[in-house]
Chain A
Amino acid sequence: MNGLYHTGATELHDIFLAPLKAVIDAEMSLTESIKQFIWETGFTSEGEIKTIQFKYLLDGKKETLSVPALSIVTLPLLGIKNATFDMHVKMMTILEDDKERVSLPPLKKTKLPEMKPKVGLKGFLTPHHGALTESTGLKTNMRVKLEMGETSMPGGIIKILALLNNNLIADKNNENE
């Protein structure tokens, strides 16, 4: 904490970053769950692909087709499509002068480096309702709208599914009936 007292205001970038970071963390957690689900559903513990066997007669021959289980069904992938944060902020410009900091005198007579006052932007989240604004004395002077959009499916997962769909209809055995 700088200065003689703390205003209680939060750095503006922290105010904006916190909800964004929460969404990103949620998305990462979701992706991790999807990865785990794909791994458990589509692969054995030895890393082999789990398949479903289809047996049919073609031109009088009995044939078997092994199809990766994951390529048969549509996975219910849920992602964050859109996150909108509408915040009312009271922005303040704060002069932080380190020379005013209360501290013990130095043991040795050393020359302290010259400290220049810093100017920082801080703010408070303010209430949306007028009555609360008056009672708290926090009047909004900045309205912030942050929007996040859904990205497409993670590239790695697309590649895995493409491989399963295109290349791994593999085990085709012909047997004479």
Chain B
Amino acid sequence: MNNQDNQESGMNCPRCSFKIKFQIQDLLAKNSINCPGCLLKMDMDIPNEIKSHLQEIQMAQDMVAKARNVNL
């Protein structure tokens, strides 16, 4: 089973329960998101500390993607 499937990352929309998936770039760059299911607009308040972690995760994701293509 894929690890990413296990995690089921994202958030259920408080209005329509649609599972909202997030891109780290969106979390870093945007101040608000819209639920794809019901278009509910939500303003995001992300502390700088978490933003720096998100940047680390983004970097790690890029590195993992590269590592998957390496055959030793």
Residues of A within 8 A of B (CB): 37, 40-41, 50, 52-58, 63, 65, 67, 69, 71-79, 152-153, 158, 161, 165, 169
**How many Cβ-Cβ contacts under 8 Å join chain A to chain B?**
90
Q: Does A41 contact B53, Cβ atoms closer than 8 Å?
A: yes
Q: Does B11 contact A67, Cβ atoms closer than 8 Å?
A: yes
Report which of B11, B44, B60 forms a contact with A169, defined as CB distance below 8 A.
B11
| 10 more A-B residue pairs beyond the given contacts A56-B42, A65-B42, with a C-beta to C-beta distance below 8 A | A40-B53, A52-B45, A54-B45, A58-B14, A58-B40, A69-B53, A69-B54, A71-B10, A74-B9, A161-B6
Report which of A54, A69, A75 forms a contact with B42, defined as CB distance below 8 A.
A54
Chain A nearest CB from B1 CB (Å) reads 6
Residues of B within 8 A of A (CB): 1, 3-4, 6-12, 14-15, 22, 24, 27, 40-47, 49-50, 53-54, 56-57, 60-61, 63-64, 67
Residues on B with beta carbons closer than 8 Å to the beta carbon of A63? 14
CB nearest to B9 among chain A residues: A74
Chain B nearest CB from A60 CB (Å) reads 13
Residues on A with beta carbons closer than 8 Å to the beta carbon of B67? 78
Residues on B with beta carbons closer than 8 Å to the beta carbon of A73? 9, 22, 24, 27, 54, 57
Q: Does B10 contact A55, Cβ atoms closer than 8 Å?
A: no
Q: Does A152 contact B50, Cβ atoms closer than 8 Å?
A: no
Bound-state Cα–Cα, A40 to B14, Å: 28
Chain B nearest CB from A72 CB (Å) reads 5
A-B contact pairs, 16 of them (CB 8 A): A50-B49, A52-B44, A52-B47, A53-B46, A54-B44, A56-B40, A58-B14, A58-B40, A65-B42, A69-B50, A71-B9, A73-B22, A74-B4, A75-B7, A78-B64, A165-B8
Report which of B3, B12, B45, B56 forms a contact with A77, defined as CB distance below 8 A.
B3
